[in-house]
Each structure stands twice: as C-alpha cells, then as structure tokens.
C-alpha cells in the first residue's frame, strides 16, 4: 500500500502518469501503445473545421489577425497537420488565416514536433506554433490574438486528475482512494500496470474545493441526483475556467473523449477505474464540463457515440445559430463515430468491392491513410485489369492520401504499398517516387530496392537498375527477382551506361 484515504486527484497515480509521458515521447503513439487513431483522423479534422468556421462567422473576426487554434496535449501533431490543410480547403486563399498552436507540458514533445519534417515547414511558415502549456496548472498562453479562440482537447481530459463523490439522499461524501503498488521501484516504466485502486466513503462534505466554480458544479449534482457516483473532472474544469479568462470569454472548445455527456448517463456509473494502455485513462465527466461552461454563460453541444463522445463547449452561448447547425450536420449526423462504425463493416466486406467503390469510401474518409492501408491488398489485386478511367481516379486518390499522411514511426510501410500498386498498373514513374519515399522513411529493405530497380529499368535507366539488383544479391545471393532482372537487362550497351 502506498497511500490510503487520499483524494483521487491527489493520488500518486497522476505523478506516475506524467512520468510515463515524459519518458515515452511520440513513440508511445507510434507503437499504438497509447490510443490515438480516432481522434487524429482527416475526417475529424474536417468536421472540426466546419464547426470552427461557423463559430467565427457567428462571433465575427478581425481579418487583420489570424484565428488561434490551441490543441491541449497534442500528442503526435497529426490533427494539427490535418486541420491546417482542411482549413485552407474550407476558406480558400482569401479566407481568414489560422494559427495552430500545438501544446504539451513537456519541453521534449515540442522538440519532437520541431524536428518532424512534415511539420517543420508549417512551423517555419507560422501556420503552426509550439507552446508549453500544462493543463493542470498553467495560467498563461502567449501570443493569443484578439479573435475568438478554438481549443481542441482530444483524449486530454481523461488523462489528468479528477475526483469522485457519492451522492446519497442529498448528502455528499467524497470517495477516498487507497492505492496499492507491488514492491517495485517507483521509476519502473511498467509500474502503472500493477496499480490497484480501492475506494471508501469519506465523511459528509460541503463545498470540498473551496472554489465556487467547482463547488457550484458539484452542488448541482447533489441537488439533482437522488443517489449515484459522480466523478468531478477537477483539473479539466480549472483548465476551462483559465482558458475562458485567457480568451476573454470568446472560445469554442472541441473535445473528443470517453465519458458521460448527460445527467441520465451519470446515474448508473460506479467509481472510476484505470484503463491501461502504457499510460492510463479514466472516463471523464463531459457533462460536468458542460455544467461549468453553462455557469460561465456558455452552451454545451454533444454528440454521444459508441466509440467516442464529441462535444463543443461554446462561449458565449448566445447567437451561435450557425455553430449549432454546423455541429448538428458535421458531428452529430455524419461525424467520426458514425464513420468509425461504417469503417468496421468496410474492413470485413471490402474484399468484394471494385475500384470505384473503394475510392468512393476512401474519399468519404477524407483520404485517410489507414483506410487506404486496409484496402491496398484488394486494390492491388484489381490493378492489373483496371480501366484507364479507374486508373486515373485511383492515381489521384493515392496522391491525396499521401498528402494526408504524417508518419509517426508506426508499423507498416504505406509508401511501399502504394508503390507496388502503381507498379501493377505500370505507372512506373509514380511507383518509383513512392519506392524512394519508402527508402527515406524505412531504409533500404531489399524488397523496396528490387522494386525500385524494376521501375528504373522500365524507365530506361538500366545501369542504375543493375546496380540495385547487385546490391540485393549482395544481401541475398539467391534472390530470384534480382537474378531475373539481371537476366532481363542483359549486357549493357554504352548508351545505357
């Protein structure tokens, strides 16, 4: 046992959480240890942009200044990459400019973003900026302009301190936690996997925070719930309050996370547990954040889903008709949660689809690289018999998907898969370009090298193709494709050298 009778938000587990993220770096997401896909898709970025554009139209802007978009705990940087592109497509070259601010509490994360080649040019152009901001405590965020601010918090609030209370016949009691950890070193990276939590009822309490903003939200549950367990996202609520002050009460906060969005969905929940994925997460009471925003004069818009809950917290909450309509159309009716359900069915059924149908689904995903990766085997199977019209549509789709791809070191080689598909369609020049990209991202795998050699031979650069085939044979002397290519090339004429 390491602690007993402790307020949940003061538990040692949150220090262990921070330590994990300090050590893990972006590799935690690249290895898929920490979940991130559904909150970093091109589709979600597109839908967020639609709501954000409506919001700034509702409130009005000063066109001389960019619109700030601040992402809390921005992880891989993928959403920023998608959002900036989607914004330009939505508003055009003459529309309002956006400045996307990637934030994290750890300085090394900023350095990782700065080093990323796909983000660097956006940083150099001023479209993306980097800032240290700690959700748990920071009260300043430099360089916010005079326009309304968009805040993005995806899978951010479920990973920061929260509390738990029991409501029983109008009486409020805090759920106090006992944390047990085996006899391991506290700096052991696997420690979180062995933590156990147990809850006990504390004494009756009133205004336990001594902060009117938080105590007011908690009091609303004491009055309205007959009985139940209420989690209080204390760190998230304090962050919302600080951001409301920093933005002068003109803020759209877009949140994708897991947790209850309505009062009814709170009633049947028990004490929070830790969901482990390298770090850990706890369901976040999104309804409570909405109660806090309402207390500040704002409004909560919610789209509860099976896979993810998406909410928009809007300040001020008046005269936002366009924002409400955009949220309904872009998030509630056609949003990421619905598409995620379709994607699951697509993964099982796409093996019978034709090129036009597959490309249509990829387009509906807003050119999601993961959707393409799912159907690459089927597309490659169809490629050799593709009609010219299908080939043109498919080549355009592949280029759009690659433009939407931000590599973060995850497994799989998308560039190689695209190269093989293009080679099957005898698009040798395009295939060569993707095999070169594969070499740049994943190194000189012999499968990539020999495919590149075939492209070069088909493009009339047989001397270079011979050189690459010999490079493959130096690693694998019996490699059949390399031997076949050398036989096909034959003796080189002087013009080929």
Determine the Cα–Cα distance for residues 427 and 392; give it in Å rounded to an integer: 10
Q: What is the pLDDT of residue 41?
A: 95
Q: What is the pLDDT of residue 35?
A: 82
Residues 322 and 399 in one domain: no
CA atoms within 13 A on the CB side of 297: 10
The parent domain of residue 53 ranges over 15-159+236-332
pLDDT in tens, 284-302: 999 999 999 999 999 999 9
Q: What is the pLDDT of residue 398?
A: 98
Q: What is the pLDDT of residue 493?
A: 54
Identify the segments of the chain with pLDDT beneath 50. Answer: 494-495, 497
8 A C-beta contact, residue 24 and residue 285: no
Determine the Cα–Cα distance for residues 152 and 135; give it in Å rounded to an integer: 12
The number of domains in the chain is: 2
Residues 395 and 307 in one domain: no
Residues 240 and 320 in one domain: yes
Residues 425 and 310 in one domain: no
User: Does residue 175 form part of some domain?
Assistant: no
Q: What is the pLDDT of residue 186?
A: 65
User: Does residue 194 form part of some domain?
Assistant: no
User: Does residue 10 form part of some domain?
Assistant: no
Please, where are the H alpha helices in 329-413? 336-349, 355-364, 369-383, 388-403
Last-in-domain residue among 287, 307, 332: 332
Q: In this structure, what CATH number is given to the domain that contains residue 368?
A: 1.25.40.10
User: Does residue 169 form part of some domain?
Assistant: no
Residues 121 and 251 in one domain: yes
User: Does residue 411 form part of some domain?
Assistant: yes
Q: In this structure, what CATH number is given to the domain that contains residue 50?
A: 3.40.50.12710
| Closest CA relative to residue 441, chosen from 399, 468, 403, 413 | 413
Last-in-domain residue among 332, 358, 389: 332
Last-in-domain residue among 283, 310, 332: 332
Residues 440 and 460 in one domain: yes
Residues 132 and 61 in one domain: yes
Q: What is the pLDDT of residue 495?
A: 44
**Would the CA dihedral through 222, 226, 230, 233 be positive or negative?**
negative
User: Does residue 210 form part of some domain?
Assistant: no
Residues 250 and 354 in one domain: no
Residues 318 and 381 in one domain: no
Residues 349 and 322 in one domain: no
Instruction: Give Cβ neighbours of residue 206 (< 8 Å, ≥ 6 apart).
Output: 172
User: Does residue 295 form part of some domain?
Assistant: yes
Please, where are the H alpha helices in 205-256? 212-224, 234-246
User: Does residue 126 form part of some domain?
Assistant: yes
pTM of the model: 0.94
What are the backbone dihedrals phi and psi of residue 43, each rounded to the nearest 5 degrees, phi first? -65, -45
């Amino acid at each position: 046992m390491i602690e007993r009778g402790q307020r949940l938000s003061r538990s040692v587990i949150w220090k262990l959480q921070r330590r994990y993220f300090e050590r893990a770096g972006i590799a935690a997401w690249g290895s898929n240890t920490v979940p991130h896909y559904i909150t970093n898709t091109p589709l979600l970025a597109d839908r967020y942009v639609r709501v954000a554009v409506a919001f700034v139209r509702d409130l009005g802007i000063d066109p001389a200044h960019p619109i700030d978009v601040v992402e809390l705990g921005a992880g891989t940087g993928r959403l920023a990459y998608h959002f900036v592109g989607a914004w330009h497509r939505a508003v055009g070259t003459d529309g309002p400019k956006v400045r996307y601010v990637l934030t994290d509490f750890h300085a090394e994360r900023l350095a990782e973003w700065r080093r990323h080649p796909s983000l660097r040019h956006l940083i150099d152009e001023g479209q993306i900026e980097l800032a240290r901001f700690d959700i748990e405590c920071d009260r300043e965020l430099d360089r916010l302009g005079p326009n309304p601010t968009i805040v993005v918090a995806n899978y951010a609030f479920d990973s920061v301190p929260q509390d738990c209370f029991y409501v029983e016949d109008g009486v409020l009691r805090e759920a106090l936690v006992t944390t047990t950890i085996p006899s391991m070193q506290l700096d052991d990276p696997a420690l979180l996997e062995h933590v156990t939590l147990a809850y006990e009822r504390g004494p009756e309490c009133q205004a336990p925070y001594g902060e009117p903003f938080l105590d007011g939200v908690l009091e609303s549950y004491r009055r309205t719930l007959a009985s139940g367990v209420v989690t209080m996202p204390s760190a998230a609520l304090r962050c919302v309050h600080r951001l409301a002050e920093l933005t002068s009460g003109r803020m759209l906060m877009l949140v994708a996370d897991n947790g209850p969005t309505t009062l009814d969905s709170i009633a049947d929940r028990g004490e929070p547990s830790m969901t482990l994925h390298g770090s850990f997460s706890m369901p976040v009471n999104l309804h409570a954040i909405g109660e806090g925003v309402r207390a500040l004069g704002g409004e909560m818009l919610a789209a509860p889903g099976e896979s993810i809950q998406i909410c928009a917290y809007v300040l001020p909450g008046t005269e936002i008709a366009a924002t409400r309509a955009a949220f309904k159309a872009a998030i509630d009716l056609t949003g990421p949660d619905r598409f995620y359900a379709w994607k699951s069915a697509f993964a099982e059924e796409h093996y019978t689809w034709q090129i036009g149908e597959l490309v249509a689904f990829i387009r509906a995903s807003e050119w999601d690289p993961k959707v393409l990766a799912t159907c690459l085997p089927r597309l490659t199977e169809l490629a050799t018999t593709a009609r010219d019209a299908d080939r043109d549509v498919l080549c355009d789709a592949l280029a759009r998907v690659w433009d939407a791809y931000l590599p973060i070191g995850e497994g799989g080689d998308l560039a190689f898969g695209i190269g093989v598909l293009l080679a099957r369609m005898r698009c040798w020049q395009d295939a060569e370009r993707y095999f070169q990209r594969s070499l740049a991202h994943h190194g000189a795998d012999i499968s990539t090298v020999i495919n590149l050699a075939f492209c070069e031979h088909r493009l009339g650069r047989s001397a270079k193709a011979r050189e690459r085939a010999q490079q493959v044979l130096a690693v694998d002397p019996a490699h059949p494709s390399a031997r076949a290519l050398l036989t096909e090339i034959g003796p080189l004429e002087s013009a080929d050298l």
